[in-house]
Structures are given as C-alpha cells and as structure tokens.
Amino acid sequence: MTRPDGESDRVGGFAHDAAFWRRLARFGAAYGPEWWLRYSPSIFGWGAALAVPHARHAVRANLRRVRGERGFVRDVYDVARTFQTYAGCLAEVLSNGSKNERMPDAILHGEDHIVAALGKGTGVVLVTAHTAGWEIVGPLLSRERGRPLVMVMASEADEQARKLHDDARRASGLRIARADDPFGTLGLLHELRRGSVVALQIDRVRPGLRARAVTLLEAPGSIPEGPLRLAAASGAPIVPVFSARRGYRSYAIDVRPPLFLPRRPSEAELDTCAQTIADELGNFLRAHPTQWFDFGEGIGAK
C-alpha cells in the first residue's frame, strides 16, 4: 500500500508495510491457535482500513468504478469487506511452513482452458491480478498439473518484509522471480521453454515499463506489455486466471480461454490481446468487486 509518490502511509511511527507488521502477522498466523487465524484477520482488516486513509480512499474509488455509486453505507461495508478479505488472504499465506499450514479448498472454473493450454507442449504465461487468493492460484495449479510455477513480482521497499513474505510463499511451492532483475526476461524464457508456468500480474504498471493502453471498466487504463512479449517470444499461450476468496481457506479460481500471439505480433495484434485481457479482468471485477486489492498503486489508481 505504498503511495504513488513513493512514500508509505505511517501507522504509529512505523511504515504500515514494514517488517515489524509483517513479522507480527506471521507470528500470529504461524503460532497462534486455529481460531485466531480464522477470526482475527477481520479485526485487523478493519484496523488497516481506518489507519491507512490513502489505501481506504483508493479502495472506495475502485469500488465505485467497478459497481457504480451505492451510497455511503454500502461504501463503508464494501471497503471493510475488501480489507478483511485481504487480511484473511495474508494470514493464510503467512501460515505456510508452520503448524497451521493447510492447502485451501478451491473450486476451479474453466479447467478445460488450462488443460488446452498445457497441451500445447510449451510453457504457459499465466496473467493474473492482485485479487483475493492470487498467491494460492499458483501452488494449486502447480500441484494439480505437475508443472513448476514461477511468480514474477516487484521488489518491496522493505527488504526484511519481502524476505519474510517470500519465505512463506516458497513454503507453498511458489518460485519467485523479481520483475526488476535486468536479466530476468532471459530466465523466464528459459523457464517457458522447459515447460514451466510463468505468472505475472497485469493490474500494476511499474514506472519505466512499456505498457499497452486499454479500456478497463469503461475508463482508460494500461497493462504491462511484458507478458505479451514474453508469450510471443516463447510461443507460449497466455491464460488469464483470477481468483476470489469464498471464506476461510476457500477460493474460487476462474480460468479464461487461452490467447495466442504470433512470434512477431503486429501492433494491432498486441492491442487486441491486451484489450481481451483487460476485458476478462473487468468481467471478473464486476462479479467480485470487493476482491480487488488495488490500494492506489495499479490501473485503478486515482
């Protein structure tokens, strides 16, 4: 929840995304009783919504963009649900590698699409977003299909917080690649050519990266061009996959039809593919408006 100007909101003298808070969350998720892991995230979610005003305002603006004006009471309720869902997902991920680790239940919609993509004999470029359970999708698909999965992520400002969270992600079977690695593209191409699944998030465009203009939720937006170029260079299909949290350790995963680009795509082909991905994301968000964790950093940033 870093602000677009690079500064973090502050809570009690500590950056809200600093290692102190992540370590505290990890302690409760890993060593607390099961009831604590199940119920405490709702309380902490409410607390975060109250304590981080920039993120709260961004979530409210995104909700209005996704589902339209619903009034003050509905805004308060949906903002709280968004933060509570985020806290629940975070706690479940941070429980990985501890006595509280559990593989969540998941309903998979569109399984035939992932089967078709994997049947092409190449790797798969999986495009997703910061929606509830995005860190759960990879391990579930990887274990079900027996394919290694590499999640490409931007580095965090707090190195200790990043390491703590990455350790929990790796405990679930995720492999992490950094988006700001200057040699990262070559490594990802190698992974795809050996049949791995490479997952990238498309709802945030880091400064300096090439992007494609799209229309998202009836408004101008952009998505990173990198996943499209990676798919074209490797010959791998692009599969949009989004997830929603249904309850404690329970998720629904929505797999959309695979998209294909030629090795040397035209500008029009890139634009069409980018817009199709944006349309799939928009459709998902309309169905699950409180499941989008865009706290003012992504294409919904105001």
Cα–Cα distance for residue pair 123/235, rounded to 1 Å: 8
Output the furthest CA–CA distance in the chain (Å, rounded).
55
Nearest Cα neighbor of 205 from 136, 138, 274 is 274
What value, to the nearest 5°, has the Cα angle with vertex 206 and ends 294 and 65?
30
Q: Please compute the mean of the pLDDT values over residues 267-282 and round it to a whole number.
A: 97
Q: Would you place residue 119 in the very low, low, confident or very high pLDDT band (cuts 50, 70, 90)?
A: confident
**pLDDT given at position 183:** 57
Question: Rounded mean pLDDT of the chain?
Answer: 85
Which distant-in-sequence residues (6+ apart) come within 8 Å of 71 by Cβ? none
* HEC string for the chain: CECCCCCECEECCEECCCHHHHHHHHHHHHHCCHHHHHHHHHHHHHHHHHHCHHHHHHHHHHHHHHHCCCCHHHHHHHHHHHHHHHHHHHHHHHCCCCCCCCCCEEEEECHHHHHHHHCCCCCEEEEECCECCHHHHHHHHHHHHCCCEEEEECCCCCHHHHHHHHHHHHHCCCEEEECCCCCHHHHHHHHHHCCCEEEEECCCCCCCCCEEEEEECCEEEEEECHHHHHHHHHCCCEEEEEEEEEECCEEEEEECCCECCCCCCCHHHHHHHHHHHHHHHHHHHHHCHHHECCCCCCCCCC
Q: Would you place residue 13 in the very low, low, confident or very high pLDDT band (cuts 50, 70, 90)?
A: very low
Tokens of residue 17, six digits: 């995304």
The larger pLDDT score, comparing residue 2 to residue 156, is at 156
Residue 3 has pLDDT above 50, yes or no: no
Tokens of residue 251, six digits: 């998720």
Least confident of 7-21, 56-70, 228-242, 280-294: 7-21
User: What's the pLDDT tens digit per position in 215-259?
Assistant: 999 999 999 999 999 999 999 999 999 999 999 999 999 999 999
Query: What residues form DSSP beta bridges with 152?
Result: 177
Q: Classify each residue of 66-79 as buried b or exposed e, where b means 16 or more C-beta atoms within 10 Å of its C-beta.
A: beeeeeeeebeebb
Nearest Cα neighbor of 228 from 242, 215, 240, 243 is 240
Nearest Cα neighbor of 241 from 199, 279, 213 is 199
Q: pTM for this one?
A: 0.86
